[in-house]
Amino acid sequence: MTGAGDAVARLVRDEGTRVLATLVRVTGSVDLAEDAVQDAVVRALETWPRDGVPANPRGWLLVAARHRAVDVVRREAKRLGKEAVAMPDVDPCPDPVSVRDDLLRLVFTCCHPALSLDAQVALALRTLGGLSTAEVARGLLVPEATMAKRLTRAKQKIAQARIPYRVPAAEELPSRLAGVASTVYLIFNEGYTGRVSLLAEAVRLARLLVSLMPDEPTALGLLALVLLQDARRAARFSSGAPVLLSAQDRSLWDAALIKEGVELVGRGLRRTPSVPNAYVVQAAIAACHDLAPSYEQTNWDAVISWYDVLSTVQDTPVVRLNRAAAVAERDGPAAALALVDALAGLDDYPWWHASRAELLHRLGSASAFDALERAEETGLPAAHVAHLRRRLG
Amino acid sequence: MPKYAAIIYATDIDPTTPEATDMMKDYDEFGAGAAAVIRGGAALYPTATATTVRVTGGKGGDIVTSDGPYAETKEALTGFYLLECADLDEAVKVAARIPGAWDGAIEVRPVVDFGK
């Protein structure tokens, strides 16, 4: 595709989600809206590079998509020998508030708690992210036919069970937004373990949430967290093998992303003066690492304090395990091992065994090998097993 | 407005016995509070009274009956309501007020409207 064609494709993709959000409201059906917008997008990609981008691309797409939806509904009604239901008009120049509200409705519908997490992730990527079914399937390492079925089922449930197309009421918003954030963060984590295309999608979705809800700490914290972690992307792998934080070449980190992430942490903290927000605090921890000139110069006091704050709202064994890793740097391996050994119920968690292997190794204990073996048995990723094995020698 | 079946899976007790008195009070309270959306429903005798019927070999085949419910689970199907609600969110809110949700679970399912 030509440069102009690429620009048009990007524009169409960005506008497509907004147009889709409005069409879902107008048609009352995610499926029909997707079909109609897809049709409009294909037309746009055919005609815009040739005839030039229209003055109001969003309006053009809205009108074309509604036109197609009306056609489909009429055809279907005719087939069944029924009267077609009238469809509301679209405003070709919608005001920004109504565009935002439609997008918010789409976000909360795609991430509705009545849908399985798998379905939410698939819908977030397909419907909110605008990826094709094939792209979503590739990203999530699922056969395309399986993904198509998953998406169809999810859309059927939305239609048949009448999952509402609505922004949750104020009292429900925090818990519903937490659900949306965990779906986006799950996509980010899938990408973090190596599928780079998903990283970009998660960042894009997190940016969308902040643009829609600029005052919500969860949205600010989520975006900050993904940016501050994504900033290390270029240094995280060396010829395919993961490089630990302590060994990363910090000159490869993306300073612009770090700056943006740190500013977002500040905005998030100002909006959570009394009750900490788990995403904002996790982002603050990431910021401590990103701002340290070297691993040795990391402010471990600050990192440990943030973990203490985090454990007041998210007291999980995983949080304590991460805190112990920071304690190891500040107070030495013996203090950390005592904390790690005190954590109950992690016998099936590979990272618990991996932490023990590392700490036991630092203490010069031969038990490190047993711990590494347990880590491997419980499913520690091969690259990390290899890394630990090299360390243990 | 769409209709939903709220199918109750909870403690398998006989609602007509004295030990069910407190529970029935809770159900009466729910029934009064949700009267505006309840379109029907029934409480069932315990699973000990259930008979499962199958016809082997398809239509016209042999009728085989067996004692007990179709699916043996810890929480038994004890009854259901037919609710008429604006959407799933409203149906879920109503279902959460059914006493069976407190010690068991309510399955909320949209009802097919063949009149369309």
At B64, give phi and psi (nearest 5°).
-120, 120
Q: Give percent of chain A with pLDDT exceeding 90.
A: 73
CA distance A209 to A224: 12
Q: What is the pLDDT of residue A82?
A: 85
Other C-beta atoms closer than 10 Å to the C-beta of A375 total 24
pLDDT at residue A4 greater than cutoff 80? no
Name all domains of chain B by residue range, CATH numbers in brackets. 1-46+73-108 (3.30.70.1060)
Contacts of A163 in chain B (CB under 8 A): 87-89
Q: What is the mean pLDDT of the segment spanning B17-24?
A: 94
Q: What is the mean pLDDT of chain A?
A: 92
Q: Which of B2, B86, B88 sits opposite A114 (nearest CB)?
A: B88
Q: What is the pLDDT of residue A10?
A: 82
Q: What is the pLDDT of residue A1?
A: 46
Residue A117's beta-bridge partner residues? none
Please report which confidence band the pLDDT of residue A67 belongs to, taking 50, 70 and 90 as the band edges: very high
Q: How big is the CA angle at A238 (ends A236 and A241), to the nearest 5 degrees? A: 85
pLDDT at residue A54 greater than cutoff 60? yes
- With 0-12 / 13-18 / 19 or more C-beta atoms within 10 angstroms meaning exposed / middle / buried, residue A141 is exposed
Q: Which amino acid type is present at position B99?
A: P
Say if the Cβ atoms of B110 and A166 lie within 8 Å.
Answer: no
- Using CA atoms of A291, A296, A302, A308 in order, give the dihedral in degrees to the nearest 10: 120
Q: What is the pLDDT of residue A194?
A: 66
SS3 A241: strand
Give the distance from residue A76's alpha carbon to the nearest chain B alpha carbon, in angstroms: 14
Q: Are B106 and B95 in contact (CB under 8 A)?
A: yes
Q: What is the pLDDT of residue B116?
A: 54
Q: How far is CA A186 from the centre of its chain?
A: 6
Say if the Cβ atoms of A162 and B109 lie within 8 Å.
Answer: no
Interval A78-103: pLDDT, tens = 998 888 888 899 999 989 888 889 99
CA distance A347 to B31: 47
CA distance A65 to A119: 25
- A interface test, pick of B1, B85, B88, B94 with most A CB neighbours within 10 Å: B88
- B interface test, pick of A162, A165, A167 with most B CB neighbours within 10 Å: A162
pLDDT at residue A7 greater than cutoff 90? no
ipTM reported for the complex, 2 dp:
0.87
Q: What is the mean pLDDT of the segment spanning A266-274?
A: 95
HEC string of A314-344?
A: CCCHHHHHHHHHHHHHHHCHHHHHHHHHCCC
